């Protein structure tokens, strides 16, 4: 077999110099545009224009000729880098596509999207049908050309729109959400249209059969992707995170999926960008691909590969062609049709969607930005032989012009939109949730021996994470003697040999293993029954005892978990002994992540069936600390899932009798502070959808007062926050917490989060 010759020294040198110059100029102009309030993509596109025949080719034709006026094979090396950047950019766009957001704003988004797709598609198709033949690369395929122009007119630029909304600090406003939702619907339909038109262009024959085949191919791919593909992507990302646990592994996994899906759609006669976009959407729905990892991927894409793509795309634009009167006139017509179709279509249907005039203008102005997406469409059209260089330059100019218009229109119109009380409440709630303790919990570890306390802990975990995509791992520690554990491969072969030789020995071991496996299965099944239906996944883990049970739990907890939940009964009221067992005590002291300890009451221990009783009232003691706030989040989440009432209580400690003044102490200031503390927690509870009442009182022994309050009001659960500190080599939660845990008439959950 012939060996493929490597790149020559000059070819390699040239492509490295090309990439260096393109990236430097693209990033420089991108930062300059950002500094004056314009999208960076505009500067990155201008970099290619300046380095192309328009400026560099005119000012320094020798330099341009040696750098970029190269052979087709040499330029293809740049195109490969460009396509890699394009695939990564479409993954980022998919990551920003929030399916839940589209569903939440369903009716309004669909109406706006209809106006933003149907009107510009119709006007774009009509424009393509009447444009002079010299603007069509293949005059015999005017229908495909017209469909392509219609698709280009229909697309919006979510990255540009999102960036402008973020800069204006309105991305979470109702109008911002509507722009994103409608833009996502538009772009999703746009990519389907693009894949369909590209498929028609590739067949070379325009007939209903080929069109139907392309559409069916798109629908088949989307159907498989959002059913089987969704599960494969989610399970693979979770497995990689569990098995490897590094950001690099997750990023590699996403790129592998994007390239594989791109290869599949390309093989099907569609575009690779459709596969990359869908992978981005699917990965964005997996909670393991969190903000940190996503930000790393976006940083690499938007700082290196996307600028290279836009700069290389700009190289193909010839501004000199626009100086031709005919081309310039057609360019103005295309620009006008693009703006009238998209802006006019959305403003025209905004009244049907129940929006005000200024909301319609804002949404129309935002979605009129074409930016990166239209450059992608133009690049594909040029590569497929649909567009001429002049038409390509016109579409790129439209993309730049509309991207410059959008920020100006939105800055002018958004201040004129009044914020409703409902919108203000939602934004305040979202601002809190962004820094929420619960929202950061993606992986939870629940060690279990099958005890009543563990089962009740599982019941609380089920309610706590019922509607959250939080993954739960159930851990059982195999504490059996090493001789009865699963043997190594060598030992397995030896035991099989013994079984063949005398028919004994291994049968008892096999029976022991089978019995142990059945016990483990029953234990996990009991706990899983308490979890109920949850949005996240649940795994069963069995670990061999490594030194001690506490060391085994701690080693497992260090593998990327955000919370460890421990079910354990108290040891009694001996002040010198740990509140819980030595194992739990050591885990609490050394755990690398927050821990929640759940202890049931004596009545539940005597009658385990009581743990299935509904939770109707939760007592939430608070002292206003961060740990109390985290415990409040836990209590409110459980209360929302169980439809329970939360009683928020603050107990002021009365001074000792020796410190009291005649006539009793004045605790009015302390009680006022306590009222402020419970009112703050109550406001949070109402924002999170929980029913709350508040209690502020004074007592000599706050722990005893809380136990009495729980008993008097028939509390079904007490949730407390605490900061542990070592005292006499044991974890100490504080006297009030320990008194409540030891004496409470109902189950108690103690969250040690800081």
- The string of DSSP codes covering 85-146 is HHHHHHHHHHHT--HHHHHHTHHHHHHHHHHHHHHHHHHHHHHHHHS-GGGBSSGGGHHHHH
Higher pLDDT, 503 or 103: 103
Q: Residue 160: pLDDT above 80?
A: no
> Average of pLDDT values for 301-311?
87
Strand order in the sheet with 617-621: 538-544, 471-478, 443-447, 563-567, 595-599, 748-752, 717-721, 617-621, 645-653, 691-699
pLDDT at 480: 63
| Mean pLDDT for the stretch of residues 492-515 | 50
CA 8 – CA 14 distance, rounded (Å) = 10
pTM of the full structure: 0.67
d(Cα 603, Cα 746) in Å, to the nearest integer? 8
Split at pLDDT 50, 70, 90, the class of 600 is confident
Sign of dihedral through CA atoms 188, 194, 200, 203? negative
Cα(361)–Cα(60) distance, integer angstroms: 44
| pLDDT value, residue 254 | 93
Q: Which of 688, 633, 631 is nearest to 429 (CA)?
A: 688
Tens digits of per-residue pLDDT, 377-392? 887 888 888 888 888 8
Q: What is the CA radius of gyration of the chain?
A: 32
**Length of the chain as a residue count:** 754
CA distance 510 to 702: 56
Per the CB < 8 A criterion, the answer to whether 369 and 386 are in contact is: no
Percentage of residues of the chain with pLDDT beyond 90: 18
Separation CA 641–CA 635 (nearest Å): 10
Nearest-CA neighbor of 622 among 716, 510, 532, 722?
722
- Cβ distance 650 to 632 under 8 Å? no
Closest CA to 319 of 48, 128, 42, 60: 48
Instruction: Report residue 153 as tokens.
Output: 């007119």
Q: Is the pLDDT of residue 451 over 90?
A: no
**Cβ atoms 173, 423 nearer than 8 A:** yes
> 409 is written with which tokens?
């229109």
3-state secondary structure at position 535: coil
* Average pLDDT for the chain: 81
Give Cα 547 distance to the centre of its chain. 38
Are 314 and 53 a contacting pair, CB within 8 Å?
no
Mean pLDDT (whole number) for 564-592: 78
- Burial code (b: 16+ CB inside 10 Å, e: under 16) for 444-455 equals bbbbbebbbbbb
Task: Say yes or no to pLDDT of 72 above 80.
Answer: no
* HSE value, Cβ hemisphere, 13 Å, CA-based, for 745: 16
Residues 394-434 have pLDDT tens digits of 888 888 788 778 878 888 888 888 877 777 777 777 676 66
Q: What is the 3-state secondary structure (H, E, C) of 193-250?
A: HHHHHHHHHHHCCCCHHHHHHHHHHHHHHHHHHHHHHHHHHHHHHHHHHHHCCCHHHH
**Beta strands, E only, 345-460:** 443-447
Sign of CA dihedral 253, 269, 394, 117: negative
* pLDDT beyond 50 at 487: no
> How many CA atoms are closer than 13 Å to the CA of 196, on its beta-carbon side?
23
| Spatial distance between the Cα atoms of 140 and 84, rounded to a whole number of angstroms | 32
Say what the pLDDT of residue 264 is: 92
pLDDT score of 31 more than 60:
yes
Mean pLDDT is lowest, of 118-127, 338-347, 428-437, for 428-437
Looking at residue 301, the DSSP 8-state letter turns out to be I
Dist CA 617 CA 634 (whole Å): 14
**pLDDT on residue 25:** 93
No. of helices (H) and no. of strands (E), the chain? 33, 12
Segment 501-507 shows an average pLDDT of 45
What three-state secondary structure class fits 606?
helix
Predicted local distance difference test score (pLDDT) of residue 450: 80
Q: How many CB atoms lie within 10 A of CB 571?
A: 15
Residues 397 and 402: their CA atoms lie apart, in Å, by 9
Q: What percent of the chain has pLDDT over 70?
A: 86
- The β-bridge partners of 730 are 727
Compute the half-sphere exposure of residue 302: CA atoms within 13 Å on the CB side of its CA: 18
- Burial of residue 196 (CB within 10 Å: 0-12, 13-18, 19+) is buried
- CA nearest to 292, candidates 244, 248, 230: 248
Round to whole Å and give the CA distance between 257 and 247.
16
Please enumerate in sequence order all residues whose Cβ is within 8 A of that of 263, keeping only pairs 6 or more positions apart, or say none.
272, 275
Compute CA 286 distance to the chain's CA centroid, rounded to the nearest angstrom. Answer: 6
| Pairing verdict, β 443-447 and 730-732 | unpaired
Of the candidates 534, 522, 524, the residue with the CA atom closest to the CA atom of residue 461: 534
Give pLDDT, residue 434.
66
At 204 the pLDDT is 59
Strands 717-721 and 748-752: parallel
For residue 305, what are its two tokens? 């590969």
Domains and CATH numbers, the chain: 9-418 (1.20.1530.20), 438-656+665-752 (3.40.50.12370)
- Taking CA atoms, 189 is separated from 90, 108, 110, 195, 378, in Å, by 14, 16, 11, 10, 17
What pairs with residue 648 in β-bridges?
620, 694
Check: CB of residue 537 under 8 Å from CB of residue 472: yes
Task: State pLDDT tens for residues 661-713.
Answer: 555 566 788 889 989 999 999 988 888 888 999 999 988 899 999 999 999 99
Question: From CA 309, how far away is CA 362, in angstroms rounded?
Answer: 29
Convert the pLDDT of each residue in 607-660 to its tens digit: 777 778 889 999 999 988 888 899 999 999 999 999 999 999 999 888 766 555
Give the pLDDT confidence score for residue 207 in this predicted structure: 54
Does the pLDDT at position 485 exceed 50? no
DSSP string, 681-701: HHHHHHHTT-EEEEEEEEES-
Name the more confident of 68 and 482.
68
Compute CA 161 distance to the chain's CA centroid, rounded to the nearest angstrom: 19
Average pLDDT score over residue span 190-207: 70
Sign, CA torsion 220/225/226/231 = positive
Tokens 């029976």, residue located: 511
Confidence of residue 287 (pLDDT cuts 50, 70, 90): confident
State how far Cα 483 lies from the chain centre. 46
- The Cα 448–Cα 446 span in angstroms is 6
What pLDDT is stored for residue 372 in this prediction? Answer: 64
């Amino acid at each position: 077999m012939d060996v493929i010759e490597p790149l020559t020294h000059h070819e390699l040198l040239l492509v490295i110099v090309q990439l260096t110059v393109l990236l430097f100029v693209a990033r420089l102009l991108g930062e300059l545009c950002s500094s004056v309030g314009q999208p960076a993509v505009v500067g990155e596109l201008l970099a290619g224009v300046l380095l192309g025949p328009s400026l560099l080719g005119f000012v320094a034709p020798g330099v341009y000729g040696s750098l970029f006026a190269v052979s087709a094979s040499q330029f293809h090396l740049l195109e490969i880098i460009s396509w890699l950047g394009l695939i990564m950019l479409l993954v980022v766009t998919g990551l920003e596509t929030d399916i839940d957001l589209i569903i939440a704003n369903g009716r309004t988004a669909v109406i706006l999207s209809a106006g933003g797709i149907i009107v510009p598609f119709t006007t774009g198709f009509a424009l393509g049908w009447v444009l002079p033949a010299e603007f069509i690369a293949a005059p015999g395929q005017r229908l495909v050309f017209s469909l392509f122009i219609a698709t280009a007119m229909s697309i919006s630029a979510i990255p540009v729109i999102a960036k402008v909304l973020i800069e204006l600090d309105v991305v979470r406003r109702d109008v911002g959400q509507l722009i994103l939702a409608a833009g996502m619907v538009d772009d999703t339909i746009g990519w389907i249209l693009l894949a369909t038109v590209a498929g028609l262009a590739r067949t070379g024959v325009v007939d209903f059969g080929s069109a139907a085949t392309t559409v069916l191919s798109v629908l088949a791919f989307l159907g498989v992707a959002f059913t089987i593909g969704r599960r494969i992507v989610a399970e693979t990302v979770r497995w990689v995170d569990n098995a490897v646990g590094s950001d690099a592994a997750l990023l590699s996994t996403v790129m592998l999926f994007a390239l594989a899906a791109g290869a599949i759609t390309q093989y099907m006669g569609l575009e690779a960008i459709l596969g990359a976009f869908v992978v981005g959407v699917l990965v964005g729905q997996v909670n393991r691909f969190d903000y940190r990892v996503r930000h790393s991927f976006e940083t690499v894409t938007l700082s290196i590969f996307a600028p290279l793509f836009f700069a290389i795309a700009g190289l193909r634009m010839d501004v000199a062609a626009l100086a031709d009167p005919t081309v310039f006139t057609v360019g103005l017509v295309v620009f006008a049709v693009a703006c009238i179709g998209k802006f006019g279509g959305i403003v025209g249907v905004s009244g049907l969607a129940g929006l005000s005039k200024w909301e319609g203008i804002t949404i129309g102005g935002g979605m009129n930005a074409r930016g990166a997406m239209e450059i992608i469409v133009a690049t594909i059209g040029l590569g497929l032989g649909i567009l001429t260089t002049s038409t390509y330059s016109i579409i790129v100019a439209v993309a730049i012009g509309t991207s410059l218009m959008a920020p100006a229109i939105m800055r002018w119109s958004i201040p004129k939109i009044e914020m409703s009380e409902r919108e203000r409440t939602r934004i305040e709630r979202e601002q809190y949730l962004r820094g929420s303790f619960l929202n950061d919990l993606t992986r939870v570890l629940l060690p279990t021996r099958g005890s009543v306390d563990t089962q009740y802990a599982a019941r609380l975990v089920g309610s706590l994470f019922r509607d959250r995509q939080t993954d739960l791992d159930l851990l059982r520690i195999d504490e059996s003697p090493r001789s009865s554990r699963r043997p190594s491969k060598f030992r397995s072969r030896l035991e099989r040999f013994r079984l063949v030789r005398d028919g004994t020995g291994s049968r008892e071991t096999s029976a022991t293993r089978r019995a142990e496996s059945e016990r483990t299965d029953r234990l996990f099944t009991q706990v899983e029954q308490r979890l109920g239906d949850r949005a996240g996944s649940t795994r069963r883990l069995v670990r061999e005892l490594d030194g001690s049970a506490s060391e085994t739990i701690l080693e497992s907890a260090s593998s990327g978990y955000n919370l460890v939940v421990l079910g354990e009964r108290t040891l009694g009221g001996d002040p010198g002994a740990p509140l819980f067992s030595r194992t739990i005590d050591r885990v609490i002291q050394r755990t690398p992540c927050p821990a929640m300890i759940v202890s049931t009451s004596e009545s539940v221990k005597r009658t385990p069936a009581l743990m299935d009783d509904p939770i109707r009232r939760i007592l939430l003691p608070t002292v206003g600390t961060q740990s109390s706030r985290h415990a409040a989040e836990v209590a409110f989440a459980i209360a929302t899932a169980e439809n329970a009432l939360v009683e928020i209580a603050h107990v002021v400690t009365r001074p000792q009798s020796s410190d009291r003044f005649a006539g009793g102490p004045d605790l009015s200031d302390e009680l006022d502070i306590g009222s402020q503390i419970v009112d703050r927690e109550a406001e949070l509870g109402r924002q999170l959808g929980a029913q709350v009442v508040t209690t502020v009182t004074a007592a000599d022994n706050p722990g005893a007062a809380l136990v009495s309050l729980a008993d008097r009001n028939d509390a079904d659960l007490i949730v407390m926050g605490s900061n542990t500190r070592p005292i006499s080599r044991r974890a100490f939660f504080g006297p009030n917490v320990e008194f409540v845990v030891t004496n409470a008439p109902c189950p108690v959950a103690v969250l040690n989060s800081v």
